[in-house]
Amino acid sequence: MQELWLVGIGTGNPAHITLEGQQALRDADVVLIPRKGRGKDDLALLRHNILNSCGATAQVVEFDMPVRDEALPYQDRVADWHDRIAQCWQMALPKDGVKVALLVWGDPGLYDSTLRIAARLHPVPSVRVVPGITALQALTAAHAIPFNTIDGAVTVTTGRRLRDFGWPEGTSTLVVMLDGACSFQNLQTQGVYIWWGAYLGMPEQILVEGPLAEATPRIIVRREAARADHGWIMDTYLMRRRMN
C-alpha cells in the first residue's frame, strides 16, 4: 500500500518544524511540492529550504496546482478543486509503495484540506499525520497573548461566515484565518480588540493590534502593501469582545 505522510511545517520557518517532522522528512523517499503559479515561486522555495535544513535527501517531485473555477458556487468550486488536486497527486505519486511526504502549511488537521484530498486517492493510501505548529499558536505567541479568556468560548471561523452571519452568539474570542476580504471591517467595533498577523514566524512577519475601529485601516493598508510586495499573503487574526 502507498504510504502518504502529511508533515506539518508550521508557518514556513524551518525552526518551527518539530523533531518528529524533521525525521519524517529525512525518512521519506519522495516529497511532493506544489507549484502555485506566477508570483508565488517563493512558496515552493520555502519548502525546498525546509528540506535542506532538515538534511532530507528524498527525491523531489513538483506539480502544478490547479486553480479554482470561480464560476462555480462556493461549495462546488472547492469540491471540484479538491478533485483536481487529487488527480495531480495521483499522477505524481510513484507506483511502487515508497514513502511519500507532503509539506503542509501549519498543521494537517487544522484548517487544512489535505486529509480530505488524500481520501480522494485511489486506492486510498496509508496516511500518517505529523502535526505542526498552527497559525493560531504562532499568532498568539507573536502577540504574547492567551488563546482564550477564563471560562470563555473560542470560535475559529472563516471570513465568509463572518461576513454572512456576523459574530457568533456567546463567543468572546473569535479567530479568523485567510480572510482576503478583511471581513472584520463589517463588524460593530464597540468593545472589540484585534490582534492581526501575516507571515507569522518568518522574517517578513507583520503584526498589528489595537481597538478594532482604530486598527482596521492600518491592517488593510499593510495587508495590501505586503501582498503587492510578495505576490501572496497568509494572515490570521484574533478578536476579543468585551462580554456584558
Helix (H) or strand (E) holding 93: none
User: Per-residue pLDDT for 243 more than 80?
Assistant: no
What integer is the mean pLDDT of 61-77?
90
What integer is the mean pLDDT of 131-150?
94
Percent of the chain, pLDDT > 90?
A: 68
What integer is the mean pLDDT of 44-53?
90
Residue 43, pLDDT score: 79
Residue 209, pLDDT score: 98
Residue 39, pLDDT score: 63
Question: What 3-state DSSP class applies to 87?
Answer: helix
User: Between β-strands 173-177 and 235-241, what pairing exists: parallel, antiparallel or unpaired?
Assistant: antiparallel
User: Per-residue pLDDT for 18 more than 90?
Assistant: yes
Helix (H) or strand (E) holding 176: strand 173-177
CA distance 132 to 18: 7
User: Per-residue pLDDT for 19 more than 90?
Assistant: yes
Average pLDDT, the chain: 91
What integer is the mean pLDDT of 78-101?
88
What integer is the mean pLDDT of 108-137?
91
Per-residue confidence band for 93, with pLDDT thresholds at 50, 70 and 90? confident
What integer is the mean pLDDT of 13-34?
93
Compute how many other C-beta atoms are within 10 angstroms of the C-beta atom of residue 95.
6
User: Per-residue pLDDT for 52 more than 90?
Assistant: yes
Each residue of 158-167: pLDDT tens digit? 999 999 999 9
Please name each of the domains of the chain with its CATH number. 3-133 (3.40.1010.10), 136-241 (3.30.950.10)
CA distance 21 to 109: 14
Identify whether the C-beta of residue 50 lies closer than 8 Å to the C-beta of residue 9: yes
Residue 244, pLDDT score: 53
What integer is the mean pLDDT of 66-81?
91
pTM exceeds 0.85, yes or no: yes
What integer is the mean pLDDT of 101-105?
93
Residue 219, pLDDT score: 98
